[in-house]
Amino acid sequence: MYPYLFPPRGPAAVRFRTCPAFGLAVRLAVAMAASCTVTASALAAPLAGNPQAGQAVFKLCASCHQVGPRARAGFGPQLTGIIGRKAGSTSDYHYSDAMQKSGIVWSEAQLAAFIRAPDHVVPGTRMRFWGISDEQKIADLLAYLKASAQ
Ligand code: HEC
């Protein structure tokens, strides 16, 4: 019915397979796939974060979170020293059961995932935040949180 959806049949298929350009096309496709893999792994490498840029990104969190030496719980828990901290462990904030029982110790990778999609990392969390998808912004934010660890 839709001939263009199917590989050529009959004499056309024979011509296709015996065509010397076919082998070249396969080799090209393999080479392209290989170069795509390299690009993908380059993207997966951690980006260098800039703490100053991260301070600006933190404005997205600041309506609910404080960070730094005098940080206290607000609508959300304070985030001082969050990297390496056990989830749900500050004493002046009442967490959801989901957060308290998550068993997470916040690594950079886990924080990044949580910032991308809080509900995927801690299903049922009370943190209502639609997430940041820009990897550079996440790296900057993590650098800022690291720099404000005390
Ligand atoms: C609308 C308010 C709101 C915003 C905006 C928000 N959060 Fe939250 N966040 C919360 C609440 C509420 C919790 C507690 C969740 C729970 O107990 O389930 C929380 C919890 C967290 C936790 C876990 C803390 C702990 O002690 O285990 C981290 C980490 C966190 N938020 C990071 C961020 C970052 C980074 C941003 C900005 C990109 C952000 N949040 C934006 C409300 C918010």
**Encoded tokens for 149:** 């660890």
Residue 96 has pLDDT above 70, yes or no: yes
Looking at 3.40.50.720, 1.10.760.10, 1.10.10.10, 3.40.50.300, the CATH number of the domain 51-147 comes to: 1.10.760.10
What was the pLDDT predicted at 133?
95
Q: What is the DSSP string of 79-97?
A: -TT-TTPBTT--TT----H
- In this prediction, what percent of the chain has a pLDDT beyond 70? 69
How far is the C-alpha of 104 from the C-alpha of 112, rounded, in Å? 13
Neighbours of 16 (CB within 10 A): 14
Gap from CA of 95 to ligand 1 centroid (Å): 10
Q: pLDDT tens across 99-109, in order?
A: 999 999 999 99
**Average per-residue pLDDT in the chain?**
83
pLDDT bucket at 13, cuts 50 / 70 / 90: very low
Please give the residue that has the higher pLDDT: either 1 or 88: 88
- List C-alpha distances in Å: 73 to 19, 45, 60, 62, 98: 70, 33, 16, 11, 18
Give residues (CB < 6 A) around ligand 1: 60-61, 63-65, 75-77, 79, 82, 87-90, 95-96, 98-99, 106, 111, 114-115, 125-129, 132, 141
State in Å: Cα 27 to ligand 1 middle: 49
pLDDT per position as a tens digit, 42-70: 455 668 999 999 999 999 999 999 999 99
pLDDT beyond 50 at 36: no
pLDDT for position 7: 53
Pocket test for ligand 1, best of 129, 133, 141 (most atoms within 8 A of CB): 129
Give the pLDDT band (50/70/90) at residue 150.
Answer: confident
Q: Where are the domains of the chain?
A: 3-44, 51-147
